[in-house]
Structures are given as C-alpha cells and as structure tokens.
Amino acid sequence: MLRYIVRRVALSVPTLLGITLVTFLISRALPADLVLANLGDHAAQDPQLVAAFRQRWGLNRPAPVQYLIYVEHLLRGDLGTSIATERPVRTELALSLPATVELASSGMLAAVVIGGLLGVAAAVRSDTPIDLAVRSIMATGVAIPTFWYAILLLFVFYFVLGWAPGPGQLDAGLAPGPPITGMYVVDSLLEGNWPVFRNALAHLVLPAVVLGTVGVGFIARITRATVLDVLQREYVRTARAKGLAEARVVWRHAVRSALIPIITVIGILYAQLMSGTVLTESIFSWPGLGRYAFSSAGNLDFPAIMGVALVIGVFYVALNLVVDVLYAYINPRIRYE
C-alpha cells in the first residue's frame, strides 16, 4: 500500500507542474498588456512600480527563465498582489478558503446522502412511479442553472416565506469567536457558542442545498445504475436464496459494492462543487473563494483570479490523489496491478 501511495504521489508532480505551466501561459500570453493587467490602471502609470514589477517577475529574461522565476515565487507562496486591495493574494485566499471548504463539504454531504438514498430507491423500485420521480429529479438537478436556482430559493425561502436567514454567514448582530479553523459552524461548535452555532448553521442550509443539488443528480444517477447492476448479480441471488430479508440484501450486499464507484466520482463532484461555489457564493454573499473570484472578475483583478484558479487546480489534484488512495484501499486489485 505504501509503495502505491508513493508512486501515486510521484505521479501528481508532473500534473502540478502542468497546472503552473497553464496558469503561467495564461498570465503571460493572453493579456493584451501584461503590466496593465497585473498592476491595474493606477499603478501602471508609475514607472517605478512598473520597473519593480518587471524586475520581480524577471520580465526582461527569456520565457523559460520567467517560468522558473514564477515557480520559485509560487514555492515561496507568492501569488502576486491583488490590484483591488493591494494586499498579497495569498493572504486573501487564506482568509476565504475556510468558508468555501465549509460550504462545499456541506453541499457534498447533502449530495451524497440525498443522492444516494434517491438512487437506491430508484434502483430497488425500478420502472415504477418512484423511479420516474427520482429520474425527473436527477434530470432537473443536472439541468438547472445554479445561479438561477440560488436566486429562486433565496426568493422563496427568505423573501416570501421568511423561513431561512438572508445572505451572509451570520446575522448582523452576532460576532464569531476567535478563529480556530475559520469555519463558523465548526468553530462555534468547538467553543460551545450555541447562539452563533445555530445561526451559522441556519445560514449554511440554503447555499449548501443549492450546491448539493448539482451533485444529487450526479450521485443518484451513478448509485441507481450500480445498484441496479449489482442486484442482478449471482451473489445477490444467493443472498436471496438463503432467505435473507430484502432490506438486508439491498443494504448489505448491493449498496455496499455500489459504494466503490461512488467514491471514485466524489473527486470529480467536489471539483464541480468548487466551480459551483463561484456562482452560489456570489448570490449568498458567502465570503469564500468563489465570491472572491467573482468580485475579482468584476474588478478585472487578474492576479487574484489567477490565484484562485491555481489554488483550486492544486486542490483538485490533491483531492484526486486522496480518492485514488482511498480507492486502492477499498479495492485491493488496484494496488497490485
């Protein structure tokens, strides 16, 4: 197992380098005016700042050298300076990452639980109205535009019914304690700060449901297909033949083996949820990476958006690594190939 992990980690290094190469190429080749794109209208007027910028990123050196300088900066955690706030992009990303992880993980949890249950129900009752209903939900979940759906839910549950709190992470009157993880729900739970915990949780529900819906269709589709497939296998027939209760056959024999394909799609799904956060967070005023990307795009804050792309790309590679290792752990055949 250890050998597999080492090999798999080594394999992600070229991908990581590739990611930096892509962000490097985008940031060097695409903007019409590189200095203007990175410094903004204001600073680009100042010859001293321009000279310092050129010096810092080695812009008068050959392109391969520029790339090495770029990677060297990245390794030191230097992602450039935001045009809009004039603060290091790294600091701003570090501040917004916890909120996104909190939101994306809750969305993921909602997607796996709801999608999994729907998928099992559809498979066990295939070709009945239940199946049809679940398949309609799946088709809707895949097709509905996140940004519109978010506005719709906010309109109905906050504006019309008043059941859900408005946008943001907490009500205006509440203040979170000193950050531990930076995630409000987790921190307030650890501190035993119940008013903040309840409020933060209530604020989390709607955006998590919006994000999760994208995944519900995805997870339900895969669960349905795998469980349906497994239910036709010989060992399920054997399980039934020895007189096991149907519930036990479904949950212990069929659903268990369906878990493997579900785990493999979780990596892809998490990436989808991270993309979904851009639109969801901007609507729910959720102070995470997504809203940061959104406001950076609005300000044409180029270094900031490249920072987000890089961080999410690296996150995605790391996540796939974890999924692959987990997969090898569950399914030993992979390890020995």
Partner 1 sequence: MSSLDTVVGRTDSADVAEMVRAVHSRRLWRTIGVLAGVLVLAAWGLAAAAAPLVSPYGFDEQLVTESLQPPSPRHVFGTDDLGRDIFTRVLYGGRVTLLIGIGVVSVASAAGMAVGTVSGYVGGSVDEFIMRSSEVIMAFPSIILAMAIAVALGPGVLHAAFAMVLVWWPTYARLARGEVLNIRRMEYVDAEVAIGQRPWRILLRAIVPNIRASIIVLATVDLGSAIVTAAGLSFLGLGAVPPTPEWGAMVSAGRELPQAWWIAGFPGAAIFSTVLAFNFLGDAVRDYLDPRHRT
Compute the chain's Rg from CA coordinates.
24
- Closest distance of CB 46 from partner 1, Å: 22
Binding of partner 1 at residue 282 (CB under 8 A)? yes
Binding of partner 1 at residue 252 (CB under 8 A)? no
Q: Compute the distance between CA of residue 170 and CA of residue 187 in angstroms, rounded to an integer.
A: 13
> Which of 197/286 has CB closer to partner 1?
286
Beta carbons within 10 angstroms of residue 162's beta carbon: 9
Binding of partner 1 at residue 305 (CB under 8 A)? yes
The strand pairing partners of 81, in sequence order, are 88
> Which of 102/301 has CB closer to partner 1?
301
Q: Which residue in 2, 143, 161, 172 binds partner 1 (CB under 8 A)? A: 143
Binding of partner 1 at residue 201 (CB under 8 A)? no
Residues 91-130 that bind partner 1 (CB under 8 A): 126-127
- Please provide residue 289's backbone torsions phi and psi, each rounded to the nearest 5 degrees: -60, -40
Asked if residue 287 lies in contact with residue 169, where contact means CB atoms within 8 angstroms, the answer is yes
Please give the structure tokens belonging to residue 271: 């990436």
3-state helix, strand, coil in the chain (%, to 5): 75, 0, 20
Binding of partner 1 at residue 296 (CB under 8 A)? yes
The stretches of 171-193 forming alpha helices (DSSP H) are 184-191
> Which of 145/195 has CB closer to partner 1?
145
Please give the structure tokens belonging to residue 42: 């204001």
Binding of partner 1 at residue 279 (CB under 8 A)? yes
Please give the structure tokens belonging to residue 324: 């692959």
Residues that bind partner 1 (CB under 8 A): 14-15, 18-19, 21-23, 26-27, 30-32, 37, 126-127, 132, 139-140, 142-149, 151-152, 154-155, 159, 225, 237, 240-241, 246, 271-272, 274-275, 278-279, 282-283, 293-294, 296-298, 300-302, 305-306, 308-309, 312-313, 316-317
